[in-house]
């Protein structure tokens, strides 16, 4: 039994009072939450109706998502049952094929949702849902496009993104910057100039590591994806991810070579270019904290503090800034990231009501105020984020003109989790970008 088991029995009482407030992380009416959006939920009595949700979250994340679900139950009387599994991706395929899916499935990668939509195993959302996302999410059209797939009756919106991660970050130690008299750059031009300035001071600008056991090479794919979004329009990024333009297109080769500007210059990277492929990505940020520093900059997603020295305080001992765009290319502020897509796999009245609940501020603010949650929803109070780090990442997300999902996660496994990884290792080791890209495209041609 989980922490929130048995809430449904209490929910009926909560329809008329806040006697159950102790069963909720934050008592209705208290704090700066948008309680009007919570009160609005009470207009629908869903007593006796069950909504089943399956997703990838276990442990603390399971408790956190259930803490959000608790508010929907308390307001509507519905019984919502979440089931988390480390093998969610395999299980949802089995369950939908067998005709016994949950009402809602939470997909860590939209590619699997697209596969199920094409088979008619997902229920499309409405045009009103698409309009709401486009209007209320930062870079809203990006989120609509990411969840629009080809179904039996043509393209349609098949889900809503909720809980997002940001990858377009550069980490640094403020004290090291102060010692050199430098500041975080605002543009890619300034970032490259800063790289040169640090090198001219006889210091090493970057720590980069591609090692990851059987997944060695994947950190370079994030670099290339971020740089594709900073050198090409988002439509070109989409064409690359879907192979509408080949992997050895000049646009892609150019992005790989942009990565090489940082990673294949001995004066730009700790240990020299030859150390990039052999350095484990979990060890690479440690150079920021050494005395004297082995490097001053580290490009990595929001999860990397897990591998910082114990006791590191973000905002004091280490900080981050947005991986900037080129001022001269007029491509806005693109953000690369990932997120979970919530889709309907078994329709019902209560299921639609729950999906509508995800469009309410309270559904976002409850998780925001705890931990491990970012949202592009412009209607939330960002002051409710549980710590300043999350708020700063959330502000980066809200400032995005374009959001794009991690491209390698959208490509076929043989590409995105195969030759793209190994090709980047080859490139870091000195192979020409055009040669590496052609080899990746040859593999893609072989699976089409």
Q: Is the pLDDT of residue 366 over 80?
A: yes
Q: What is the pLDDT of residues 119-176, one digit of tens each?
A: 999 999 999 999 999 999 999 999 999 999 999 999 999 999 999 999 999 999 999 9
Tell which residue, 112, 25, 69, 114, has the closest CA to residue 384: 25
Evaluate whether 275 touches 429 at the Cβ level (below 8 Å): no
User: In the predicted model, what is the mean pLDDT of residues 88-110?
Assistant: 95
- Distance separating alpha carbons of residues 280 and 290, to the nearest angstrom: 16
Q: Is the pLDDT of residue 18 over 90?
A: no
- Distance separating alpha carbons of residues 279 and 256, to the nearest angstrom: 19
Q: Is the pLDDT of residue 2 over 80?
A: no
Q: What is the pLDDT of residues 34-78, one digit of tens each?
A: 999 999 999 999 999 999 999 999 999 999 999 999 999 999 999
Tell which residue, 335, 446, 338, has the closest CA to residue 401: 335
- Distance separating alpha carbons of residues 323 and 168, to the nearest angstrom: 5
Tell which residue, 385, 382, 383, 381, has the closest CA to residue 373: 385
Is the backbone of residue 404 left (phi > 0), alpha (psi -120 to 50) or beta? beta
Exposed, middle or buried by CB within 10 Å (0-12, 13-18, 19+), for 9? exposed
pLDDT at 23: 78
pLDDT at 179: 96
- Distance separating alpha carbons of residues 138 and 230, to the nearest angstrom: 18
DSSP symbol at 324? P
pLDDT at 17: 34
pLDDT at 1: 28
pLDDT at 281: 96
User: In the predicted model, what is the mean pLDDT of residues 328-357?
Assistant: 97
Q: Report DSSP letters for 42-77, one per residue.
A: TTS--TT-EEEEEES--HHHHHHHHHHHHHHHHHH-
- Strand, helix or coil at 142? helix
DSSP symbol at 309? P
- The pairing of strands 169-172 and 154-157 is unpaired
Helical spans, DSSP H, in 242-387: 250-263, 349-357, 361-368
Evaluate whether 404 touches 229 at the Cβ level (below 8 Å): yes
Q: Mean pLDDT, the chain, as a whole number?
A: 93
Q: Is the pLDDT of residue 14 over 90?
A: no
Sorting pLDDT into bands at 50, 70 and 90, what band is 440? very high
pLDDT at 161: 98
pLDDT at 109: 86
- Strand, helix or coil at 238? helix
- What the chain holds in terms of domains, given with CATH numbers, is 7-165+338-405 (3.40.190.10), 169-335+414-447 (3.40.190.10)
| Cα within 13 Å of Cα(158), Cβ side | 31
Evaluate whether 405 touches 110 at the Cβ level (below 8 Å): yes
Q: What is the pLDDT of residues 407-419, one digit of tens each?
A: 999 999 999 999 9
Centre a 10 Å sphere on the Cβ of residue 16 and count the other Cβ atoms it contains. 8
Sorting pLDDT into bands at 50, 70 and 90, what band is 15? very low
Listed range (22-31, 212-221, 340-349) with the worst mean pLDDT: 22-31
- Distance separating alpha carbons of residues 136 and 25, to the nearest angstrom: 26
Q: Is the pLDDT of residue 384 over 70?
A: yes
User: In the predicted model, what is the mean pLDDT of residues 250-257?
Assistant: 98
Q: Is the pLDDT of residue 6 over 50?
A: no
Q: What is the pLDDT of residues 180-209, one digit of tens each?
A: 999 999 999 999 999 999 999 999 999 999
- Distance separating alpha carbons of residues 56 and 44, to the nearest angstrom: 29
Evaluate whether 360 touches 208 at the Cβ level (below 8 Å): no
Evaluate whether 367 touches 64 at the Cβ level (below 8 Å): yes
Helix (H), strand (E) at residue 447: helix 433-447
CA distances to 176, 223, 244, 393 from 319, rounded to whole Å, are 11, 19, 38, 11
Maximum Cα–Cα distance across the chain: 69
């Amino acid at each position: 039994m989980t922490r929130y088991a048995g809430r449904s029995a209490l929910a009926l009482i909560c329809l008329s009072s806040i006697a159950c407030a102790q069963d909720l992380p934050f008592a209705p009416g208290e704090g700066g939450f948008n309680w009007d959006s919570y009160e609005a939920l009470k207009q629908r009595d869903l007593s006796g109706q069950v909504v089943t949700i399956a997703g990838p979250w276990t442990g603390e994340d399971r408790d956190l998502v259930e803490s959000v679900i608790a508010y929907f139950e308390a307001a509507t009387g519905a019984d919502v049952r979440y089931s988390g599994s480390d093998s969610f991706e395999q299980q949802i395929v089995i369950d939908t094929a067998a005709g016994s899916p949950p009402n809602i499935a939470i997909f860590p990668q939209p590619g699997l949702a697209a596969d199920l939509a094409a088979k008619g195993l997902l229920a499309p959302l409405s045009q009103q849902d698409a309009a709401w996302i486009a209007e209320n999410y930062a870079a809203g059209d990006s989120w609509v496009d990411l969840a629009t797939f080809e179904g039996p009756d043509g393209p349609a919106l098949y889900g809503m993104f909720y809980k997002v991660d940001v990858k377009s970050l550069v980490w640094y130690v403020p004290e090291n910057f102060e010692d050199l008299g430098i500041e975080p750059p605002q543009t890619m031009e300034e970032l490259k100039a800063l790289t040169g300035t640090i090198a001219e001071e006889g210091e090493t600008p970057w720590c980069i590591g591609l090692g990851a056991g059987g997944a060695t090479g994947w950190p370079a794919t994030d670099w290339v994806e971020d740089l594709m979004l900073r050198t090409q329009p988002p439509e070109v990024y989409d064409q690359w991810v879907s192979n509408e333009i080949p992997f050895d297109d000049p646009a892609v080769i150019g992005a790989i070579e942009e990565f090489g500007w940082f990673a294949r210059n001995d004066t730009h990277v700790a240990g020299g270019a030859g150390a990039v492929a052999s350095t484990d990505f979990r060890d690479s940020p440690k150079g920021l904290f050494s005395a004297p520093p082995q490097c001053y900059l580290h490009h990595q997603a929001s999860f990397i503090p897990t591998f910082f020295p114990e006791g590191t305080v973000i905002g004091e001992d280490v900080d981050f800034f947005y991986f900037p765009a080129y001022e001269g290319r007029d491509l806005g502020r693109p953000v690369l990231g990932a997120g979970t897509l919530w889709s309907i796999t078994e329709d019902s009245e209560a299921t639609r009501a729950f999906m509508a609940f995800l469009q309410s501020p309270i559904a976002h603010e409850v998780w925001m105020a705890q931990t491990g949650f970012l949202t592009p929803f412009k209607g939330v109070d960002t002051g409710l984020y549980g710590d300043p780090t999350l708020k700063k990442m959330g502000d980066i997300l809200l400032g995005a003109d374009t959001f794009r999902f991690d491209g390698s996660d959208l490509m076929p496994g043989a590409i995105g989790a195969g030759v793209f990884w190994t090709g980047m290792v080859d490139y870091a080791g000195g192979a020409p970008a055009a040669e590496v890209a052609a080899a990746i495209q040859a593999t893609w041609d072989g699976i089409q």
